[in-house]
Amino acid sequence: MHFSNEDIQNLPRIKRLNLINSVTGVKPANLIGTRCKENTNLAIISSVVHLSTNPPLLSFMLRPDHKVRRHTYENIKAEGFFTINSISDSFVEKAHYTSAKFDREVSEFQQCNLTEEYLSDFKAPFVKESALKLGMSYVESIFIDSSNTVMVVARIEQIYIAEQAINNDGLVDLEVLNAIGISGLNSYYKLKKLADYPYARVDDVPDFLSK
């Protein structure tokens, strides 16, 4: 099957949305926890990526919706702190429904039956059910004109992880965490570790041509 740019433009809206949202492959599944003066907020986000190790910066993409206020973004800008909580298969359905457009006074923690947790006096709420939790401090937002999206940059301040899910080299095992992956905006995948390979040096590349 082949889609030209013209075919893509002519697709029905939902089909185009599903196609373009799923062509990149599996994305990480996280819940972003925030709070404002009156309430807490939780939203599923699939666009978290690593930016740099030192300083330890991550980013995620926000699509501003002009009809609906984005509580996550408002809270992060106002408070300066938020949490990123990896989603495991045991609460994936609850996590999915945090994407519903609840009113500001409704907390997705309560509505989706997920538990607020406060650790190390960190100002934003973690998700108790999550096996990998990051406490983040806001750094900057970069507006991307061509996609009308905002890239939020933040620094890792705290990491909480189940001990059995991290090895001596510091590598996180997503399978042990029962972490899941996201495709598009509706599909969730289990993750199975295939292999660990050493750092790829030119001199050590296997002889694939003779295999």
Ligand X SMILES: Cc1cc2nc3c(=O)[nH]c(=O)nc-3n(C[C@H](O)[C@H](O)[C@H](O)COP(=O)(O)O)c2cc1C
Does 152 sit near ligand X (CB under 6 A)?
no
**Residue 108 CB, nearest distance to ligand X (Å)?**
7
Distance CA 206, CA 208 (A): 6
| Of 31 and 132, CB closest to ligand X | 31
Does 18 sit near ligand X (CB under 6 A)?
no
**Residue 129 CB, nearest distance to ligand X (Å)?**
17
C-alpha distances in Å from residue 61, one per residue of 48, 72, 82, 86, 97: 7, 12, 15, 16, 19
Distance CA 109, CA 102 (A): 11
Look at residues 84, 34, 96 and name the one whose alpha carbon lies nearest to residue 59. 84
Q: Looking at the chain, list the stretches that DSSP marks H as alpha helix, in order from N- to C-terminal side.
A: 5-10, 13-22, 71-79, 92-96, 108-111
Distance CA 170, CA 179 (A): 17
Contact pattern for ligand X over residues 39 through 78, marking x by CB under 6 A: --x-xxxxx------------xxxx------xxx------
Number of residues that bind ligand X (CB under 6 A): 18
Does 136 sit near ligand X (CB under 6 A)?
no
Does 182 sit near ligand X (CB under 6 A)?
yes
**Residue 20 CB, nearest distance to ligand X (Å)?**
13
**Residue 69 CB, nearest distance to ligand X (Å)?**
7
CB 31 within 8 A of CB 87: yes
Contact pattern for ligand X over residues 88 through 107, marking x by CB under 6 A: --------x--x-x------
92 φ/ψ angles, rounded to the nearest 5 degrees = -65, -35
Q: List residues near ligand X by CB under 6 A.
A: 41, 43-47, 60-63, 70-72, 96, 99, 101, 182, 185
